[in-house]
Chain A
């Protein structure tokens, strides 16, 4: 058994797991990156969102065998040298988090959105975040935060 080789946040990992195990479970339970959350287990809520390359995906719906050779980015990979990413800082500045559980997923989805569309309209932000659920904020401050980060790099 050679194990499955993964590249997560720029760092190589080898895990000895079934290739059908979800990427989310591997991140959380085999690698210990618990910033990627779990909730609905069925691709609805978006709390497990990570990036494959520049694209957001729901890691509960990705068999880990699929992502060999891909660059995986989780919420832990956004801050550089102790500095939050522009989006992370915007979420803090705009008070966009209440209980906070959904926020890593939102930030990953928004990061992908801003890579593809650096200056989205409110409507484009709403659509770009439509794969993520928040049960506290009512979304207004989340959208404010993405709007504030827009045009300043994800």
Chain B
């Protein structure tokens, strides 16, 4: 029978992981791990529960960054005033995550470590240029979230490592964003999701564009091509059309019986077009 260890600290968790002779896995909220176990994809001898480690829970303003502990739940993020003030569109996007029950258990770290392309908020964090702190027996290392996603359900975390923190740089002025997803019903996985974050200069020229995509390919991903088209422009209609065309080419979709590839592509382009316009309009009316 497998062992279940509720870790009291990161050090305790790392020690437990390294001492295990069989297969050890980390669990936080359990909202993905339980599915993997049930599907027979994971068959651990030891589960190390990191959800009660206080040092990796909570949200803090550390000057340049907002730091979120990896075991912080989506429910905690959704109602946090600091996140809402700095990144209101991230708060809005957390409402898209399943329903209250899953948000009460699911953690920001658990939503990242598997690299699941279907989740709503990893692309939002991509548009925010988030960074990760990972701890191992030797110490800790930092990695850009973007470099963390490797392939389908494959991330840059190694065995014996724990994702401990998500660091989100505060946005410069004239920044705004929005996440929009198309789902069959509220709380379902998105057929397509697009997050747009724009930063303008005082003349209304776009200096930073970020487009993050849910279910656009094998991992949570950015459309760098579309970002390049938008940057350095005033984001006129024609520029938006060019960006949306390139975004369509960046997609790596798998069709299914209800939603063929061609349909998904149309949805992606439509959502992207509208969201870019919305964010631009919001920034213009603020200025």
- Residues of A participating in the B interface, judged by any CB pair closer than 8 Å: 1, 18-20, 22, 41-44, 46, 49, 52, 55-58, 60-63, 65-66, 68, 109, 112-113, 127-132
Are A42 and B35 touching (Cβ within 8 A)? yes
Q: A19-B2, A66-B49 are in contact. Are A43 and B100 (CB under 8 A)?
A: no
Which of A20, A42, A127, A128 interacts with B2 by CB under 8 Å?
A20
Report if B47 contacts A (CB, 8 A): yes
Give bound CA distance, A13 to B6, whole Å. Answer: 20
- Residues of B participating in the A interface, judged by any CB pair closer than 8 Å: 1-4, 6, 27, 30-31, 33-35, 37-38, 44, 47, 49, 51, 75, 95, 98-102, 104-105, 186-188
Nearest CB of chain B from residue A113's CB, rounded to whole Å: 7
Are B101 and A57 touching (Cβ within 8 A)? yes
Give bound CA distance, A126 to B259, whole Å. Answer: 27
Q: A65-B4, A130-B186, A130-B187 are in contact. Are A20 and B99 (CB under 8 A)?
A: no
Q: A130-B99, A131-B99 are in contact. Are A62 and B105 (CB under 8 A)?
A: yes
Are A65 and B100 touching (Cβ within 8 A)? no
Q: A41-B38, A112-B100, A130-B99 are in contact. Are A66 and B30 (CB under 8 A)?
A: yes
Q: Is the interface of B mostly helix, strand, loop or mixed?
A: mixed
Residues from chain B with Cβ under 8 Å of A62 in the complex: 30, 34, 105
Are B47 and A19 touching (Cβ within 8 A)? yes
Give bound CA distance, A121 to B102, whole Å. Answer: 21
Are B30 and A127 touching (Cβ within 8 A)? no
Are B34 and A57 touching (Cβ within 8 A)? no
Which of A20, A112, A127 interacts with B95 by CB under 8 Å?
A127
Are A57 and B47 touching (Cβ within 8 A)? no
Give bound CA distance, A139 to B187, whole Å. Answer: 15
17 cross-chain CB contacts under 8 A: A18-B1, A19-B4, A20-B44, A43-B31, A55-B75, A56-B104, A57-B104, A62-B105, A63-B37, A65-B47, A66-B4, A66-B30, A68-B6, A109-B100, A109-B101, A127-B186, A131-B102
Are A55 and B104 touching (Cβ within 8 A)? yes
Give bound CA distance, A47 to B38, whole Å. Answer: 18
Are A131 and B100 touching (Cβ within 8 A)? yes
How many Cβ-Cβ contacts under 8 Å join chain A to chain B? 89
- Measured CB to CB, the nearest residue on chain B to A132 is B99
Are B2 and A43 touching (Cβ within 8 A)? no
Are A61 and B1 touching (Cβ within 8 A)? no
Residues from chain A with Cβ under 8 Å of B51 in the complex: 66
Q: Which residue of A65, A68, A132 has the most chain B CB atoms within 10 A of its CB atom? A: A65
Nearest CB of chain B from residue A37's CB, rounded to whole Å: 14
Give bound CA distance, A130 to B101, whole Å. Answer: 9
Give bound CA distance, A55 to B186, whole Å. Answer: 20
Residues from chain B with Cβ under 8 Å of A132 in the complex: 99
Residues from chain A with Cβ under 8 Å of B6 in the complex: 65-66, 68
